[in-house]
Amino acid sequence: MNCQGLIAELTEYLDGDLGAGIRVELEQHLAKCENCRIVVNTTRKTIEIYCNAEPAPLPEDVRERLHDALVKRLEHNRPHKI
Amino acid sequence: MSVSGSKPLPSTIVKDDEAALVASAKAGDARAFEELVNRYERKIFRLTKHITQNDADAEDAMQDAFLKAFRHLGDFEGGSRFYTWLVRIAVNESLMRLRKRRPNHFSLDEPVKGEEEDIPRDLKDWGPSPEQRYEKKEMGSILSRVIEQLEPIYRAVFVLRDVEDISTEDTAEMLGISISAVKSRLLRARLKLREMLHPYFQGSTAH
């Protein structure tokens, strides 16, 4: 496998969805290619950073409007099947 | 919000008991639905903001998503997680507004350009914990600023797959694109984000 081949399989490799045979080929390439190791590590880190980021609290006015709208609906309607 | 005055939720309702909350809400318990909203409002607002990239649209999409979820709770059969069902509704609401605002500029079916762009540049490592170089708030603002620069077709796929942990199949269905389009856009999105984050994380000194 070359660098271009690794990029083509990168998403499935990072998601753990790669078949055993091709994973071995990819890891053999990784062992000898520093550039590709950096790409794999920093792309993995990119995903982790976004995945672990906590969502910011709602701005107070946005939260108030949401909850006012819900209160109106919840007081007057019950969930129903359509 | 308090549908039932300021009365707190019963302490018997535990955090991971989503199914019980949904069942109570379906039976008409407003406090149970209120708890579901409290639990997910931040995540749903982040999702609608990521997709619409517009504060007013994001707020409307979030509000309508929760209202629709309540109105149609009877249709939720529990085959999937309630949160995934809620995400599906919020994605619909967001895409509707995005298309309305940018009718000539937005299409999820846009073809992906040539693959030569996928060859990464900036090949220097970031070290083990690059995110620790920034305060939490500053980090949040960097992440928002960077993801805003992604085109909608990549951003929506990345947010659903990697931020919300929605499956490839469900992402394809929610966005109305093929599974192979989800995979190729996810690869492109990840590589673009990696490249855009690089200036913040490269080297070993704080910015």
Q: What is the pLDDT along chain B (207 residues), one digit of tens a residue?
A: 444 433 334 434 445 688 888 988 888 888 889 999 999 999 999 999 999 989 999 999 999 999 999 989 888 887 778 999 999 999 999 999 988 887 665 555 555 555 555 667 667 888 777 888 888 888 888 999 999 999 888 999 999 999 999 999 999 999 999 999 999 999 999 999 999 999 998 865 444
**The residue type at A13:** Y
Q: How deeply is B180 buried, as exposed, middle or buried, from its count of CB atoms within 10 A (0-12, 13-18, 19+)?
A: exposed
Considering only CB atoms, B140 lies closest to which of A14, A39, A56, namely A56
Q: Once rounded to an integer, what is the mean pLDDT over residues A44-65?
A: 92
Among chain B residues, CA nearest to A50: B163
**Predicted TM-score of the model (pTM):** 0.83
Among chain A residues, CA nearest to B147: A50
How far apart are alpha carbons B105 and B115 in whole angstroms?
22
Considering only CB atoms, A57 lies closest to which of B37, B42, B183, namely B42
How far apart are alpha carbons A54 and A47 in whole angstroms?
13
- Whether the CB-CB separation of B112 and B181 falls below 8 Å is answered with yes
> Which chain B positions have a beta carbon within 8 Å of A16's beta carbon?
none
For residue B133, the model assigns a pLDDT of 85
> Which chain B positions have a beta carbon within 8 Å of A38's beta carbon?
123-125
| Chains A & B: contacts with CB separation below 8 Å | 132
Which ipTM value was assigned to this complex? 0.86
Closest CA to B92 of B59, B55, B48: B48
How far apart are alpha carbons B45 and B7 in whole angstroms?
26
Across B141-171, b (16+ Cβ under 10 Å) vs e yields ebbeebbeebebbbbbbbbbbbbbebebebb
> Which chain B positions have a beta carbon within 8 Å of A30's beta carbon?
none
